[in-house]
Chains A and B, each alone.
Chain A
Amino acid sequence: MVLSIDGLRKRFGDVQALDGVNMRVRPGEVFGFLGANGAGKTTTMRIVLGFLRADEGSVTWLDRPADVWPRRTWGYMPEERGLYLRMPVIDQLVYFASLYGVPRSKARKDALRWLTRFRIGDYADRKAESLSKGNQQKVQYIATVLHDPDVLLMDEPFSGLDPVNVALLKSAFLEMRERGKTVVFSTHQLDQAEELCDSVAIIDQGRIVTAGPTRDVKRSTGHQVVRVATSNDGDIGWLRAVPNITVTRAGRDYAEVLLDAGADPQLVLRAALASGGEVLRFEVADPSLEDVFVERVGALEQDESTLATATELQS
């Protein structure tokens, strides 16, 4: 009863894009698909959607092969946004929905409702090219959900959005979850994944490094994180002396340390008290997804270049 991705392999020329990808996405959850550019996120999504055929492996949804489900089961928002620039917004939304079998009159009504909700109702009859980038992205999102798909796959849905639109999109995500829809999105903004996702998977070089419920993934390293602040602002010489820890942040407001597996957080507290200052803050937490990611994969490069080049054919 899941979206089950088993043993996907895909090679483009000399590049092994996917090297045995396994994932389980439970229906009704928000699932984060994390990885650097070129790690295989887009290729995996394209195989799930049937644009590409895997060299090996299978994809099933609710125990049936993904490709036997009607197209309206799937909603897809590609990383590179695309609209018919010279076509009026409402016309192309109705067109996209009609391809999924939605009657034109219903599609028009729903599209106008969505546009109004996203505060761009006045632009319905304008050509897409006359809209700002942010507004085009909202239209893109409407195009993805207008046919009411059960599974939404979105490639970097937050990239390029301003904070207001990010908030709008987040609320739309959560609403989809409330309605029992399954949302899978890829991102390299790990704080957003942490905020929204019930489960995550981290992919690197075509392989899933770790996957599962977000809390389990965060705990999977066996480390804990301690955030501590004392009245001796920024003086953390005492902290350096504590064994089995790594200082990951030495801010003037607070310091953050990563504990080695099995190390006792109370040792840090004792050292803080012994340092002579007043302890203003002491917090034991799971590592952030970013910590997990850095530990498992290495630093996440913030390269914005297109993922699509990963699928380039070697001639």
Chain B
Amino acid sequence: MNVPRTLSNVGHISRREFSVRVRTRGFLIGTLLLIVGVAAIALLPVILSYIDRSETQRVAVHVAAPDLTVDPVVTIAAILNPIGGSGGTDDGAEEFTVEHVADLETARGAVVAGTYVALLDITRGADGDLDFTLYSNRTSGQLVALAQQAASSVAISDRLGRLGIDPAGQAGLFEPVAFGVAWADDENLDPIDDESATVGQDILAFGMTVLIFMIILLYGNWIAMSVVEEKQSRVMEVVLNAATPFELLTGKVFGVGAVALTQYGAIVVTGVAALLLQGTIANALLGDAAAGGLPPGLDIGLLVAFGIYGLLGFLIYAVLYAAAGSLVSRQEDVNSVVMPMNLISTLGYLVAVYSSIGLIDPRATWVGILAQVPFLSPFMMLGRITAGLATPLEVALSILLLVLAILGALWVASRIYAAGVLLYGQRPGIRAILRLVRSGT
């Protein structure tokens, strides 16, 4: 083999494959929609709170109890707008500004007119306790519940003040207590307060496995179709005089792989960038730092593993999809010939899904062995890594096996391809295919 020529031809071929695909309007629009969609999902919390922000609502407080020791406005505002809690923005609750009003009747009129959503009137009752009346256009709902909670808080502070406990002492009363949680099983080494991180990581690994599965199915079938297209348009023999079947095969796989990498790379980069910039964007839009940053558990290690298994998984399937495509001469026949690859990848995907939802015990030895099988490991290893079931040695072994299997698949595929591309008419049976692999053309 003439190495420089092979490299240069693989370059020419993959470049053509890449540019004819990327230039189509369907690809451009599809990718753009995906990117916008991913950015929108990643920025959803910021977007929601931005939409909420325009609905900031004003609550009026009228105090007819001059001896009140606490400032009800501060207390009420704190209850209506919890900081960093889930009640603030995530579930769509409104944000409130709370202000004093001097005249009760004017303020009631303002509530009717919509300037204020509610007016809380605080008076000193005959028994010495505070009485609260909420004037609003809606007499039930979340605002009423929150107002009642705020009223209780104000009343308790007031009662404590009347009992002679000053505000500094009150703070001590509400100090949180020491409270711990521990695994009943001593052998359980999972981190205790990191629950959300491991769950997040499992979900991420699952999502990445789905992505790998989609990439393999989508682009694998695409490769098979494009091989058949070249046969059907009879351009195959023209390029076959210029380039070897091996060059054509690898060029096609790399070219389409580069398309996949571009599309999914754009998605992943957009998603990660959007998550990282969430805080900054929230700051710019809302003037306060909303919860941002990467989802818990997304670390470089997981991203690298995703990249490696995604790439190697794509390669091993892609060369076989190309070989399969070379065996038929009409696009209608592609489906039947790529069936084995579709089945095997679906099998690996399903085992991964079942063991991640607990239908199959992921600790079983046979699952561990399946996870090393090159055609299945791209789907199974990510989940096992995040679940802590795969030792670094197992990860390294599976990658090594995968690389060796890719080389083997490339050898087999280019032999099938060399003979298959000249084959028109009837589809060869399995025995004929084996004979092709053994003897070459």
Q: Which residues of A contact B (CB under 8 A)?
A: 46, 49, 51-53, 70-71, 74-76, 78, 80-87, 95-96, 98-101, 140, 143-144, 147, 306, 308-309, 311-315
Shortest distance from the beta carbon of B238 to any chain A beta carbon, whole Å: 5
Interchain CA distance A70-B2 in the complex, whole Å: 10
Docked-complex contact A82 and B422, CB < 8 angstroms: no
A86 surroundings in chain B (CB, below 8 A): 20
Proximity string of chain B (399-428) to chain A, C-beta cutoff 8 Å, 1 when within and 0 when not: 000000000000000000001001111111
A49 to B440, CA, bound (A): 16
Measured in the bound complex, the distance between the Cα atoms of B234 and A51 in whole Å is: 15
Is the Cβ of A82 less than 8 Å from the Cβ of B432? no
Q: How many angstroms between the C-alpha atoms of A82 and B13 in the bound complex?
A: 17
Q: Are A76 and B238 in contact, with the CB atoms below 8 A?
A: yes
Q: List 20 A-B contacts (CB under 8 A).
A: A51-B237, A52-B422, A53-B441, A76-B238, A78-B234, A78-B237, A80-B237, A82-B235, A83-B233, A85-B233, A86-B20, A99-B242, A100-B242, A101-B8, A144-B238, A311-B424, A312-B425, A312-B426, A313-B423, A314-B432
Is the pair B243, A99 in contact by a Cβ cutoff of 8 Å?
yes
B159 interface residue, CB < 8 Å from A? Answer: no
Is A53's CB under 8 angstroms from B440's CB? yes
Q: Is B236 an interface residue (CB 8 A)?
A: yes
Residues in B neighbouring A81, C-beta threshold 8 A: 234
Shortest Cβ distance from residue A232 to the other chain B in the assembled complex, whole angstroms: 54
Of chain B, the residue at the smallest CB distance from A53 is: B441
State the CA gap A71–B429 with chains docked (Å).
32
Q: Does B12 contact A (CB under 8 A)?
A: yes
Q: Give the residues in chain A near B431, CB-CB below 8 Å.
A: 315
Report which of B5, B230, B436, B440 forms a contact with A101, defined as CB distance below 8 A: B5
**Bound Cα distance A143, B237 (Å):** 12
Of chain B, the residue at the smallest CB distance from A55 is B439
Identify 20 new A-B residue pairs, CB closer than 8 A, beyond the known A53-B440, A98-B12: A51-B237, A51-B422, A52-B422, A52-B441, A71-B243, A78-B238, A80-B237, A82-B235, A82-B237, A84-B20, A86-B20, A99-B9, A101-B5, A306-B424, A308-B424, A311-B423, A311-B424, A312-B425, A313-B428, A314-B432
Kindly state whether residue B240 has any CB partner on chain A within 8 Å: yes
Q: Which of B5, B8, B241, B422 contacts A76 (CB 8 A)?
A: B241
Given contacts A99-B12, A312-B423, contact A82 B233 (CB under 8 A): yes
- Given contacts A51-B240, A76-B238, A76-B241, are A95 and B16 in contact (CB under 8 A)? yes
Q: A46 to B236: give the CA distance in the assembly, Å.
A: 13
- The secondary-structure label for the interface of chain A is loop
Point out the residue from B5, B9, B425 that lies within 8 Å of A309, measured CB to CB: B425
User: Are A87 and B428 closer than 8 Å at their CB atoms?
Assistant: no
Give the distance to chain A from B4, nearest Cβ to Cβ, in Å: 10
A315-B429 contact, Cβ under 8 Å, with A101-B5, A308-B424: yes
Report the minimum CB–CB distance from B154 to chain A (whole Å): 74
Residue B389 at the A interface, CB < 8 A? no
Chain B stretch 332-355: residues in CB contact (< 8 A) with chain A: none
A46 to B240, CA, bound (A): 10
Q: Once the chains bind, are B234 and A80 in contact (CB under 8 Å)? A: yes
Q: How far is the CA of A315 from the CA of B432 in the complex (A)?
A: 5
CB < 8 Å neighbour of A311 from B238, B422, B436: B422
Contact: A315 with B426, CB < 8 Å?
Answer: yes
Q: Do B16 and A76 have beta carbons less than 8 Å apart?
A: no
Residues of chain B lying within 8 A (CB to CB) of residue A76: 237-238, 241
Interfacial chain A residues near B13, Cβ < 8 Å: 99
B11 CB to nearest A CB, Å: 9
| Complex CA–CA separation, A74 to B244 (angstroms) | 13
CA distance A85 to B235 in the complex (A): 9
A306→B237 CA distance, assembly (Å):
14
Q: Once the chains bind, are A82 and B20 in contact (CB under 8 Å)?
A: no
Q: Which residue of A lies closest to B247 (CB)?
A: A99
Q: Does B369 contact A (CB under 8 A)?
A: no
Pick from B236, B239, B423, B427: contact of A96, CB under 8 Å: B239
Whether A99 contacts B237 by the Cβ 8 Å rule is: no
Residues of A contacting B236 in the complex (Cβ-Cβ under 8 angstroms): 82
In the complex, A126 Cα to B423 Cα: how many Å?
Answer: 30
Shortest distance from the beta carbon of B437 to any chain A beta carbon, whole Å: 13
Bound CA span A311–B432, Å? 13
A38 to chain B, nearest CB (A): 13
| Chain A hits for B16, CB < 8 A | 95
Q: Which residues of B contact A308 (CB under 8 A)?
A: 422, 424-425
Measured between alpha carbons, how far is A123 from B237 in the docked complex, in Å? 24
Chain B residues, Cβ within 8 Å of A71:
5, 241-243
Are the CB atoms of A313 and B237 closer together than 8 Å?
Answer: no
By the criterion CB–CB under 8 Å, are A82 and B234 in contact?
yes
User: A82-B235, A85-B233 given as contacts; is B428 within 8 A of A315 (CB)?
Assistant: yes
Q: Which residues of A contact B230 (CB under 8 A)?
A: 82, 84
Contact (Cβ within 8 A) A75 B241: yes
Shortest distance between the CB of A10 and any CB in chain B (Å): 10
Roughly how many angstroms separate A52 CA and B422 CA in the complex, as a whole number? 9
A144, closest chain B residue (CB)? B238
Q: Across the interface, do B241 and A49 meet the contact criterion of CB distance under 8 Å? A: yes
Chain A positions within 8 Å of B8 at CB level: 101
| Residues on B with beta carbons closer than 8 Å to the beta carbon of A70 | 5
Most buried by A among B237, B239, B427, B441: B237
| A residues in contact with B238, CB < 8 Å | 76, 78, 82-83, 96, 140, 143-144
Chain B residues with Cβ below 8 Å from A309 are 424-425
By the criterion CB–CB under 8 Å, are B235 and A84 in contact? yes
Q: 0/1 per residue, B207-247, Cβ < 8 Å to A?
A: 00000000000000000000000100111111111110000
Q: Could you tell me if A46 and B234 are in contact, using CB atoms closer than 8 angstroms?
A: no
Write out the residue numbers on chain B whose beta carbons fall within 8 Å of the beta carbon of A144. Answer: 238
Closest CB in chain B relative to A93 CB, distance in Å? 11
Across the interface, name the chain A residue whose C-beta is closest to B420.
A313
